[in-house]
Copies of this chain bind each other. A is one copy, B any other.
């Protein structure tokens, strides 16, 4: 019988680097990130793709609770995961969770391999815009990772009101609970458009659950999805 497919194979022939993924924050966001990495890799067959070592660990203590309500510190678990991925052979790390980047410095201090920051690449993707609508969670804003990054790049964050933020937060928790229904999507778009109404030229989906329910077609400005930007940067680094 003829095999109508490639006969040759190569072990990481085209990929020079393996990415280690600190995942599970939440699980759907990690899967979304992996899908985006796969979709943005130029590939005709399995062997052309990026090798990803993934620790999809939903047991990382809640980042929001740690940053806003004195909850358990996720730092030690994140450090253990980073060291595990380094030991397993990862050449660099990524973390498809914006809020967890509040612990980026601790992670970097614990391993020898670099952490490719979702904050850095998302801020870089805002090039060409000045007023950036920051659609994110209370914990992420509390940590100021994005405000500081945008400031350093000479950009102005446009933030949600406290009331809007509480609702964004509740929507993110609904996504984590498995709800990506029309109501969640519609309400998320309302909060994105509120940032546009207050002067944002672009909306930055700065929480990896948000792209799962924020549809660009419902937003009155361009949308930059932090997950997509990190996926593209990951592929670029693996294939460089």
Contact = CB atoms under 8 A, between A and B. Distances in A.
Nearest to A76: B11
Instruction: Identify which of A3, A12, A53 gathers the most chain B CB atoms within 10 Å of its CB.
Output: A3
A31 B34 contact: yes
A69 interface: yes
Copies in the complex: 2
B59 A56 contact: no
A72 B10 CA distance: 9
Interface string A19-60: 000001111101100110011000111111111111111111
Interface string A66-89: 001101101001000000100111
Contacts of A57: 12, 51
Nearest to A37: B27
A31 B25 contact: no
Given A12-B59, A55-B53, A59-B10, A170 B27 contact: no
Contacts of A4: 166-167, 169-170, 173
Contacts of A47: 58-59, 61-62
A121 interface: no
B5 A169 contact: yes
A100 to B, nearest CB: 11
A240 interface: no
B89 A43 contact: no
B44 A50 contact: no
Contacts of A35: 28, 31
A182 interface: no
13 contacts: A3-B65, A3-B68, A4-B167, A5-B169, A6-B65, A9-B71, A10-B59, A28-B35, A38-B178, A39-B178, A44-B177, A46-B60, A87-B88
Given A9-B72, A47-B58, 17 more contacts: A3-B65, A3-B166, A4-B169, A5-B62, A11-B59, A24-B49, A26-B49, A27-B50, A31-B31, A34-B34, A46-B62, A47-B59, A48-B58, A51-B59, A52-B56, A53-B56, A54-B56
Interface of A: 1-13, 15, 24-28, 30-31, 34-35, 38-39, 43-62, 64-65, 68-69, 71-72, 74, 77, 84, 87-89, 138, 162, 165-167, 169-170, 172-173, 176-178
